[in-house]
Structure formats: C-alpha cells, structure tokens
Homo-oligomer: A and B are copies of this chain.
Amino acid sequence: MESSFGRAIGKKRWALAEGYIPAESHGNSREMTSHEAICILNAGSQKANIQLLIYFTNRDPAGPYKFVIDPKRSLHLRMNELKLPEPIPLATEYSSVIESDVPVVIQHTRLDSRQAENALMTTIGYAED
C-alpha cells in the first residue's frame, strides 16, 4: 500500500452547534477542571491559519480568535482559556465556526466536572469546503 501520510486531510470550514463551559468544577487540577476543547488536526505539510468565531443566543458573535498550527501538528484548544479579543463567558450557550486556509479536521469535546464524577462527550464537527 502506498502511503499518503503527510497529505492533508479534512476541510476548510467547520461548525459546532453546541457549546457551553460549565461555571463550576470538582477537582483542583487543570486536567479535571470543567472545560470544552476544540481539537484541530493539521496533518498536511503547510501551516494552518485558523480563525474561530463564537455565536450566541442574544448578542453579536465574538472573535475572530486566531491560531496558527504548524504542519503535522495537533492543537487541543481549551475554550475556557481564550483571552483575546475577549474570554468566552461561562454558563452561556454558544456555537462555533472554524475556518482554516488549509484542510483540517475538527472534533469537539466537553469534560464536565460540576458534580463529583466527571462526564464526557465528543463529536466530529460538521464540515464543508
């Protein structure tokens, strides 16, 4: 089998309709703090310039948040650590659109530790070119 590793995989526009950062956590560590992550894979051989926009129920979108991902690298973006242009408010429903200048793959994960035991959820995003 001829390998195509190193070839890019994915699409340039992604959306996640669900978003919510719980305001509370059990556990002290960064690892067990309630969080949402947008995981982005740039499997190709070119740098990925990423822009993220956050949509809300009752106000204009926040962003764009900008990131660069090196070739053949993965970025696990913690939504509760975004600072500029503004932090994402806690306990607030949102949606996301992610755009890249090269193909990437996007997966959404939430770790919820509001109660004593953590809960997990994940999904691949919706993609189009």
Contacts and interface: CB of A to CB of B under 8 A. Distances in A.
Nearest to A15: B105
Interface residues of A, number: 67
A3 B53 CA distance: 11
Contacts of A121: 109, 120-122
Interface of A is mostly: strand
Contacts of A84: none
Contact of A123 (B9, B75, B114, B123): B123
Q: How many monomers of this protein are in the complex?
A: 4
A60 B95 CA distance: 32
B120 A117 contact: no
B5 A95 contact: no
Contact of A91 (B31, B55, B101, B116): B31
Interface of A: 1, 3-5, 9-10, 13, 15-20, 27, 31-32, 37, 39-41, 43, 49, 51, 53, 55-58, 60-61, 63-64, 72-76, 91, 93-95, 97, 99, 101, 104-110, 112, 114-128
11 contacts: A1-B49, A1-B99, A18-B109, A20-B76, A31-B91, A55-B74, A74-B94, A107-B123, A114-B118, A116-B116, A120-B120
